[in-house]
Amino acid sequence: MLPPHFRQLPLFSMRVLVLTLTAFSALLQCSFPDHKFSDVNCFNGIDAGHNACADPVCAESVKCVPPIPAGWSGPVALWRGSGTDTPPSCIDSGFLSARYPLLYAGDDPSVTGSLCPGCSCSGTPSTATAHCETRVQFLRDSSCSSSNPQMIGPDDKPGYVVGTTCTKIDLDTAQFNPMLYSHDPAYVVDNSCLPLVSGQKSFPTPIWDLTLRACDMPQYGGCTSGMCMKRAGGVFDKSVCIYQEMDSAACPQEFSIPFVYYNSKDARDCSDCACVASGLVCQETSSVGDWASDTQCLGSSNIVPPTPGCGSYTGASSVNMKLSNASVAAAGTPMCTGQGSELVGSVTKGQAVTFCCVSLE
């Protein structure tokens, strides 16, 4: 039963009270359609978060932050951990997607257990099937030292292979001027030696000191200026960040918390498996001739000095060379020996990314 003072209210006044409460409820739902009374839904409701930062019910879940300055990208949320931590998924954590693969920081990573295939050879070399080759080295500057820049040949190694047939070599006279040249000792090659590779190369994941994951963050509405951001939770930093792909970027005043991380640059590989004909030698009387523009390597030539000496090259941008007086002799038991299939390259820091953040707390 109603209290006496309610029983005394005129019927008209009771109707006015009910209408007033109904209108107030409708006004709230029109202003913040993301949620209804006792049904708070700041991000996935009818309004999909468009007014989240203007909705007092959502105040603990969102915050207005400054807009992204010109020349910067974002916004992103950051997870930072050690190199042995398991990074969280951006999607499973409620973000849009990963902005980068994992980024890293700290000293050079720990890399152990890299494996290259086994390398052996089949066949038996002989003086009848073997021939001699050498590598001619071209150096920049005026010193014979191998520490000077050396021209790289078509096999991505210093120098050019020259055999007992006339070989044309195209030179980089723009980058190597003045230029010196010399040739390595002649070595035996026997095409009856065939490389045999066994197994697969394997490169374990490197372990860095620090690991970072950056996730694209959705923006919501309701701020008079800037961005309306959902406060990150769980294992992610409670901040919103912008970024530039450089390691010397100065953070804008509004985003003053800096972090610099790097892409991982993995250049590990295995060198080719090759065969060396041992038990055979090239005669020490061999020499390398420089026939300049003569593509037949006939007549007289300039003699390329053997290493460790060197001579000055003053010719054109291409030269024809040949190894002469190069005969093969036995020096023990001829056999084919595998060389190579060794680990080359390393894991280093790649492109730097500077993140600048502002707290969402």
C-alpha distances in Å from residue 100, one per residue of 115, 357, 359: 28, 17, 22
C-alpha distances in Å from residue 196, one per residue of 205, 241, 261, 277: 27, 53, 42, 14
- pLDDT score at 315: 85
Residue 116 and residue 221 in contact, taking contact as beta carbons nearer than 8 Å: no
Mean pLDDT, rounded, for 101-120: 92
pLDDT higher at 183 or 7: 183
Distance (Å, whole) CA 213 – CA 211: 7
Over residues 5-57, the pLDDT tens digits come to 444 444 444 443 334 434 444 444 444 444 443 345 677 655 555 778 888 88
- pLDDT score at 68: 95
67 Cβ neighbours under 8 A, 6+ residues apart: 225, 226, 227
- pLDDT score at 108: 84
Residue 109 and residue 207 in contact, taking contact as beta carbons nearer than 8 Å: yes
| Most confident by average pLDDT, 4-8, 144-148, 213-217 | 213-217
**25-34, 69-78, 156-165, 324-333 — which is least confidently predicted?**
25-34
Exposed, middle or buried by CB within 10 Å (0-12, 13-18, 19+), for 279? middle
Cα–chain center distance at 179: 34
Tell me the domain boundaries of the chain: 52-110+206-264+349-359, 118-200+270-344
Neighbours of 187 (CB within 10 A): 14
pTM equals 0.66
Distance (Å, whole) CA 64 – CA 8: 50
Q: Residue 207 pLDDT > 90, yes or no?
A: yes
C-alpha distances in Å from residue 324, one per residue of 161, 166, 311: 14, 10, 18
Average pLDDT, the chain: 85
Q: Residue 345 pLDDT > 60, yes or no?
A: yes
210 Cβ neighbours under 8 A, 6+ residues apart: 80, 81, 82, 83, 104, 105, 106, 261
225 Cβ neighbours under 8 A, 6+ residues apart: 64, 67
Over residues 281-303, the pLDDT tens digits come to 998 788 899 999 999 999 889 99
Over residues 304-339, the pLDDT tens digits come to 999 888 899 988 999 999 999 889 999 989 999 999
- pLDDT score at 49: 58
Distance (Å, whole) CA 14 – CA 16: 5
Cα–chain center distance at 53: 39
